[in-house]
Amino acid sequence: MRVGPGIIGILATLWFGSSAVWACPFCAPSGNTLSNEVAQADMILYGSLSNAKLDPQDGGFNKGTTEFHIEIVIKPHDIIKGKKTITIPRYIPPEGRGYKYLIFFNVSPTGELDPYRGDAFPPDSRLPEYLQGAIAVRNKDAATRLKYFFRYLEDKDVVISSDAYNEFAAADYKEVREVAPHFPPETLLQWLADPNTRGSRYGLYGLLLGHCGKPEHARALRRLLDDKERQFASGLDGVLAGYILLDPQEGWKYLTQLIHDDQEFPVKYAVLRTARYFWEFRSDVIPRDKVLDVMKQLVAQPDIADMPIEDLRKWKQWQLTPLILSYADKPSHNTIPINMRAILKFAIAAAQADPKNAAAAAFVAQARQQDAKRVEFLEELLKDEERLLQPNPTPKDSPQPKK
């Protein structure tokens, strides 16, 4: 059972459409990257803590002072010139014996320190080395940057490996596609086959392998996909995409066989995301008519139908109006409010795009008779979406320039 998207889902759909086309298609960033944090911070220091004292006059949380012994200056500031130790205006009890700390500071015009982010690391952490390298490549070309972060994707330090992953997640797909053929396919396949690899990584690794692998890697991916004990809890979409990139005919056939009524929703959703990828990025590999065939099969699945209907609307596939509207008469679909909402939005957009689309116009007219406010709300929602998709959307209440 899947619940509706709520207001968060609506806003995400408005802002990002079917996918964030500027980012890696099968990655899920989990926060800002350290190199971006470097750009935002006034000062970044690496070192150790000592002499943490609570403020006896104020029992509030973290009120007090802590001495910070500077070992490496990641990002300098005039306030620490010539200093080896500074006092942080907070009580920070040490995590453990020998731990080191990376602390990001804002510095006020009057010289007050605001340590707004701090991470603790074991003494053998490679974080200083990693972060200094990340700063060095920050303004380099995409290939140089991503080759650097690839080396740390499976680092034993979770902070480092997570940050390296976030760099890929934030990268434009064009950048990923450009550099991916230079990565070692055997390393990627080893990561995919390792049961200890975090599930969030499978999508990225599968996609990268699809760009750098050979026919034998397609066969290896297929064995992983068929392994009942190694089913991908997440990242299936990227692994499917990688398989299809390496063997379009067999890979696409495998994908279509995953669509059936008793299939679990996450699998169907992975099929949908994979189909989106080939429509939006790689129609040179899978023609769009084949993608549409898969989308039509997904529309027939009531537990996911609203999503492919939304995609077909955004892709302006108005020739499918009779098919989409036909599901409004099927109990499998019309008893699910979110499906009926998607069908109505499709009809409204189709009628607005083509005045000759009599079927869409009639459907909207009937819906308006039943609930005029609902139709008006969806019409406004679609207008807002169009405004957000414009390069520089103009707020509705902003004064318009005089002609």
Mean pLDDT calculated for residue range 268-289: 97
Look over the chain and give the mean of its residue pLDDT values, rounded to a whole number: 88
Q: How far apart are CA 226 and CA 232, in angstroms?
A: 10
Q: Is the pLDDT assigned to residue 132 strictly greater than 90?
A: no
Q: What is the pLDDT of residue 283?
A: 97
Helix (H), strand (E) at residue 209? helix 202-212
Total Cβ atoms within 10 A of residue 376: 11
Q: What is the pLDDT of residue 192?
A: 95
Q: How far apart are CA 93 and CA 375, in angstroms?
A: 57
341's tokens: 């909402």
Contact criterion met (CB below 8 Å) for 295 and 312: yes
Q: How far apart are CA 148 and CA 136, in angstroms?
A: 10
Q: What is the DSSP string of 122-161?
A: -TT--HHHHHHHHHHHTTS-HHHHHHHHHTTTT-SSHHHH
Mean pLDDT calculated for residue range 377-389: 91
**Which amino acid type is present at position 267?**
V
Q: Is the pLDDT assigned to residue 273 strictly greater than 60?
A: yes
Q: Is the pLDDT assigned to residue 88 strictly greater than 80?
A: yes
Q: What is the pLDDT of residue 96?
A: 67
Q: What is the pLDDT of residue 234?
A: 80
Q: How far apart are CA 307 and CA 12, in angstroms?
A: 13
Task: Give the closest residue to 313 by CA, choosing from 252, 281, 283, 354.
Answer: 354
Q: How far apart are CA 101 and CA 48, in angstroms?
A: 6
Q: Is the pLDDT assigned to residue 6 strictly greater than 50?
A: no
Helix (H), strand (E) at residue 53? strand 43-54
Q: What is the pLDDT of residue 361?
A: 97
Residues 6+ apart with CB under 8 A from 191: 153, 154, 197, 201, 205
Q: What residues form DSSP beta bridges with 147?
A: none
Tell me which of 12-21, 100-109, 140-149 is least confident. 12-21
Q: Is the pLDDT assigned to residue 402 strictly greater than 80?
A: no
Tell me which of 34-38, 151-155, 247-251, 297-301 is least confident. 34-38
Hey, is 285 helix, strand or coil? coil
**Residue 123 pLDDT level (bands cut at 50, 70, 90):** confident
Give the alpha-carbon dihedral of 143, 271, 288, 188, to 10 degrees.
30
Mean pLDDT calculated for residue range 289-301: 98
Mean pLDDT calculated for residue range 366-384: 96
Q: Is the pLDDT assigned to residue 154 strictly greater than 70?
A: yes
**Residue 302 pLDDT level (bands cut at 50, 70, 90):** very high
Q: Is the pLDDT assigned to residue 301 strictly greater than 80?
A: yes
**Residue 392 pLDDT level (bands cut at 50, 70, 90):** low
Tell me which of 52-66, 314-328, 368-382 is least confident. 52-66
Question: How much of the chain exceeds pLDDT 70, in percent?
Answer: 89
Q: What is the pLDDT of residue 203?
A: 95
**Which amino acid type is present at position 388?**
L
Q: How far apart are CA 297 and CA 300, in angstroms?
A: 5
Model confidence over 20-62: pLDDT tens digits?
Answer: 444 689 988 777 788 888 888 999 999 999 998 887 776 556 7
Q: How many CA atoms lie within 13 A of 145 on its CB side?
A: 23
Q: What angle do helix axes 202-212 and 215-226 make, rounded to 10 degrees? A: 150
Q: What is the pLDDT of residue 59?
A: 56
Q: What is the pLDDT of residue 119?
A: 84
Contact criterion met (CB below 8 Å) for 26 and 207: yes
**Residue 98 pLDDT level (bands cut at 50, 70, 90):** confident
Q: What is the pLDDT of residue 82?
A: 92
Model confidence over 191-228: pLDDT tens digits?
Answer: 999 989 998 899 999 999 999 999 999 999 999 999 88
69 to 73, 100, 329, 369, 393: CA distances (angstroms): 11, 10, 71, 72, 49
Q: What is the pLDDT of residue 126?
A: 87
Q: What is the pLDDT of residue 58?
A: 63
Q: What is the pLDDT of residue 240?
A: 97
Q: What is the pLDDT of residue 5?
A: 36
Contact criterion met (CB below 8 Å) for 103 and 128: no
Q: What residues form DSSP beta bridges with 9?
A: none
Q: What is the pLDDT of residue 365?
A: 97
Question: How much of the chain exceeds pLDDT 90, in percent?
Answer: 67
Q: Is the pLDDT assigned to residue 3 strictly greater than 50?
A: no
